[in-house]
Structure 1
Amino acid sequence: MTKSPSTKPRKPASTATIDWYDRPQYFDMVFRDETATEMAFFDEAYQRYATGTVSRVYEPGCGSGRLVAASAARGYDVIGLDNNDAMLAYLQRRLQRRKLSAELINGDMTSHVCSPPVDAAFCTFNTFRHMMDEDAAVAHLRAVAASLRTGGIYVLGFHCIPMDADPDCIERWKASHGGTNISVTLKVVDFQRRKRRETLRVSIKATRKNGTVERVRSEFPLRLYTPKQAVTMLKSVRDELEIVGVHDFDYEIEHQREMDNDLTDAVFVLRKQ
């Protein structure tokens, strides 16, 4: 009698509608390839734009902490601020594994002020756009200004939208690390130019080494900025923070960008007066 080949049952997928910021490991995988380029730019920006030595740095909205850990590994004294306990716990474990240290704070990036002051701060990849009105955005900038010593700099990066922006934008990408493979779809599900608001939906399929599949879907709003609106907002705090450099997400320190309607992937360098 011939036996039929046995079929190993597949592990069921778990599906949840949760905040993707509560899955730090997936969030981190999406952006980890950008870390080396960003850190090289930060090092160059500190030398070019800050007055004096940069040794103490601060990241508001640090998330999973890839830049906090990378800065600590370079020998900087680092402060990381976030309002998500899962992110901060993930970051603490990461630092412990690598025998690194940083000061981690659960706090509000519109009001937290570092004491003693820092030499530089950085906030990239649209974290700034989570502040949904002008008051919150300006409060954040002034809190960072209060956290910086005179001559210190703030590297602030976020996407601006052109006047002919496609409101039906969809982006897809994949990433792998430690035996886990993820596929990510980012879709604009609501776009209101007059209200300066868009809502993004992030859908993640994560397949672990053991075959377990987890699906995560999360939606969150972001504030819209045209290049002109971004520059106008930053100039509203020029009594404290002066725009000294304008770059883009290519992170080329020698390449200055014009503050015009083509500036969509904006990286502003602001210096404390």
Structure 2
Amino acid sequence: MECDFFESAFKQFGEGQFRRVLDIGCGGGRNVVEMAARGYDVLGLDNNEKSLKYLEKRLKRRDLGAEILTADMANFTLDKPIDAALCTFNTFRHLVSENDALSHLRSVAKALRPGGLYILGFHIIPLDADPECHERWTAQHGKTKVTTTLKVVRFSRAERREILRFNLHIRKGDEVLRLKTEYPYRLYTGDEFRKLLRKVPELEIREVYDFWYEIDHPVPFDHELSDAVFVLQKKVDA
């Protein structure tokens, strides 16, 4: 669904041909693998070497090619321009300081060619949002069943930060593996993101969507927006 949306956005908002695509904070490479399978020249960027090694194995199994870069998403440079950058499902919120978030947007703007797109998705936290959050979902592939539980264990508007705890319960036949991790996310209201984006004038909002990824159904960028997907474009004269 995400990659279908990316391609639709390239056609609807992009200028020129879209071939070279950067997936930021790519992790195990969900989008890298799919976009490579669709014929794009993909670059996967992450600072987790274990995840990138896993991605390399996935690409090899499917006989696909992609460029892998171990780098910090807060500050990176590329050897040649990209047509599009992708960063979805809250990866951006791992940048917990204003300086890192700003440096990241400037790095993306520098890497994009004029007219290129940055598709950025993350949760906006409205002022009236309930700080309590507890979610659980399950996925199964063959004999492997994975249950993920997410819980907010700390929430501070003053610090613009929340701490999330992820629990993974993995069952494969009679084998069970349990994993737990916690990490911080930066909080954003819509106005806070607008203020940040104004500091990077090379990028402008072309349209806003939600996590349904329906290209024909944009949503208002208002105080009710929570699941946000921004289609940003580098100005042609930038």
TM-score range, shorter chain: over 0.9
1:1-273 map, 5 Å: 37-209=1-173, 211-238=174-201, 240-273=202-235
Structure 2 Cα separation of the partners of residues 78 and 160 of structure 1: 28
Counterpart secondary structure, 1:104: strand
Count of equivalent residues: 235
Q: Which runs of 4+ in 1 moved over 3 A?
A: none
- Aligned-pair CA distance for 1:246: 0.9
Structure 1 Cα separation of the partners of residues 162 and 142 of structure 2: 33
- Aligned-pair CA distance for 1:175: 0.8
Structure 2 Cα separation of the partners of residues 168 and 245 of structure 1: 30
Identity %, equivalent residues: 51
TM-superposition CA deviations, 1:167-194 (whole Å, max 9, x none): 1110001111242111111000000011
- Aligned-pair CA distance for 1:245: 1.2
TM-superposition CA deviations, 1:179-234 (whole Å, max 9, x none): 2111111000000011100000011111113x111111111000000122122212
Taking only aligned residues, the RMSD between alpha carbons, in angstroms, comes to 0.9
| Residue pair 1:231, 1:259 contacting (<8 A) in 2 also | no
169-178 or 76-85: which moved more? 169-178
Structure 2 Cα separation of the partners of residues 111 and 268 of structure 1: 21
TM-superposition CA deviations, 1:15-34 (whole Å, max 9, x none): xxxxxxxxxxxxxxxxxxxx
Structure 2 Cα separation of the partners of residues 269 and 122 of structure 1: 10
Structure 2 Cα separation of the partners of residues 268 and 115 of structure 1: 26
Structure 1 runs not aligned, ≥5 long: 1-36
Counterpart secondary structure, 2:217: coil
Structure 2 Cα separation of the partners of residues 160 and 267 of structure 1: 10
**Letter paired with 1:77:** D
TM-superposition CA deviations, 1:119-166 (whole Å, max 9, x none): 011100000000011110010001011111011000000001121211
Counterpart secondary structure, 1:218: strand
Larger radius of gyration: 1
Structure 2 Cα separation of the partners of residues 144 and 179 of structure 1: 40
- Aligned-pair CA distance for 1:45: 0.4
Structure 2 runs not aligned, ≥5 long: none
| Residue pair 1:81, 1:104 contacting (<8 A) in 2 also | yes
Structure 2 Cα separation of the partners of residues 178 and 105 of structure 1: 32
- Aligned-pair CA distance for 1:254: 1.4
